[in-house]
Chains A and B, each alone.
Chain A
Amino acid sequence: MIYIPVTSTNIYQNFALEYFLAAEKRFKEPVFMLWSTTPTVMLGKYQDALAELNLNYIQQQSIQVVRRYSGGGTIYTDAGGCQFSFIQPQSTTTISFDTYIETIQQALLDMNISAEKTSRNDLTIKEKKFSGNAQYNHQGYTVHHGSILFDTDLEQMYDALHVDDMKLRSKHIASIRQHTINLKTIRPDLTMADFKTRLIRNVRATFAQHDTYHLTAAERQRVMHLAETLFEDESFIFGKTPHTEISKKHYFPGGGLVQFDLNVNHGILTDLRLTGDFFSNLDASHFAQQLIGRPFRPATLKRPIQQALAAYPILGIQTEDLLDLLFS
């Protein structure tokens, strides 16, 4: 086994490092890494960002958005949690999670944390999830990665992943919501740093042979390049879903009912209808034309909405109200 120390908390670089190891470095032995992130939401490869994320809140809180190359649902991570990665030649074409999860399970047991593995390949304590796992197979290599909640901000996790009820139609993989638990509640005596040190030591101890590898300067450069071109690519993060139809409405006290019916194709707003019983001289068709064709994200729609409302205000309803309705 080869252990690679990771100090970066940049999610794009850390996903690029996994990809680099599977697609280009291709060690014969399994690689293990443990790392953390700044506040980040991670979409599964075939998920719809609009169905999973509270984009307005995410932008306000400066939370990073990334799309994994692996499957499964959306998760929230921050410096209070950690991610583990195993990268190795694919031993079989049949999917298996057991070896990886059992390694983590044993490493936790050595810290007196007794976890159960579920049929969905999560790790739980008292039926509350603290670890999810996912994989992708690329060019004969398996990248298995998982998350561990140790002292994550669960309130922020809930807010970032809480999407108001709405009508949404698209072809995507939907997340399954579960109760969660931080491991710090089981082992309050451990700091995050202690926990990570012991987890690394315990995982390494399960392999007969283990070495440490440090990337060369050229390899680090290559990883930075892959991060920029693959994982920071907004068309990959937000444009993966071919077609989404959304219908959202809300009654604003003192303002009235506002309803949006819209279509988003590969992350671009392609159709929008604004209806309701609000008071304004705003021409709904002209308003729609000012927004259509732009990336469907709070940052790109805020200014044209502001400009439209500056010219034709809506009584009792502000730009932020409309952004909340569109993206929360």
Chain B
Amino acid sequence: MLKEVHMPKLSPKSDQYFFGSWLKQPGDTVKVGDVLFEVETDKVISEVQSQENGILKTQDAQEGQATNVGDLVATIEVS
């Protein structure tokens, strides 16, 4: 089954974040708590962790681009 990962709300002030970098690549095994990617907002670098066990299927956000709260960021194949 494919689970979607959406951009969580991290800042009380802003809903648009700078997508910094991916820490997992498509095909990588991911576990709950693994850091998937990091974003910058309001001078803070935040790590976003996986809520699923599975395999990262797609990266749907690009490094260096703006991403909004709720945007589809990735999909994870869970068994």
- A-contact bits for B8-19, CB 8 A (1 contact / 0 none): 111111000010
Q: How far is the CA of A73 from the CA of B43 in the complex (A)?
A: 8
Q: How far is the CA of A16 from the CA of B9 in the complex (A)?
A: 29
Q: How far is the CA of A135 from the CA of B47 in the complex (A)?
A: 12
**Residue numbers in B under 8 Å from A95 (CB-CB):** 10-13, 41-42, 44, 46
Interface flag for B29 (CB, 8 Å): no
Interface set, chain B 26-52, CB cutoff 8 A to A: 40-47
**Residue numbers in B under 8 Å from A287 (CB-CB):** none
Contact status A70-B43, CB under 8 Å? yes
- Given A46-B18, A171-B65, A242-B63, answer yes or no on A133-B43 (Cβ-Cβ < 8 Å): yes
| 7 cross-chain pairs, A with B, having the tightest CB-CB distances, nearest first | A171-B64, A72-B43, A136-B45, A71-B40, A134-B43, A135-B44, A71-B43
Interface flag for B20 (CB, 8 Å): yes
* Closest residue of A by beta carbon distance from B35: A139
**Residue numbers in B under 8 Å from A173 (CB-CB):** 18, 40
Contact status B20-A46, CB under 8 Å? yes
**Residue numbers in A under 8 Å from B43 (CB-CB):** 44, 70-73, 120-121, 132-135
Q: How far is the CA of A133 from the CA of B8 in the complex (A)?
A: 23
Binding site for A on B (CB under 8 A): 8-13, 18, 20, 40-47, 63-65
Q: How far is the CA of A45 from the CA of B44 in the complex (A)?
A: 9
Given A135-B44, A242-B63, output 18 extra A-B contacts at Cβ < 8 Å. A45-B20, A45-B40, A45-B45, A70-B45, A72-B43, A93-B10, A94-B11, A95-B10, A95-B42, A95-B46, A96-B12, A119-B13, A134-B44, A135-B43, A136-B45, A136-B46, A171-B65, A172-B64
Contact status A138-B47, CB under 8 Å? yes
* Closest residue of B by beta carbon distance from A241: B64
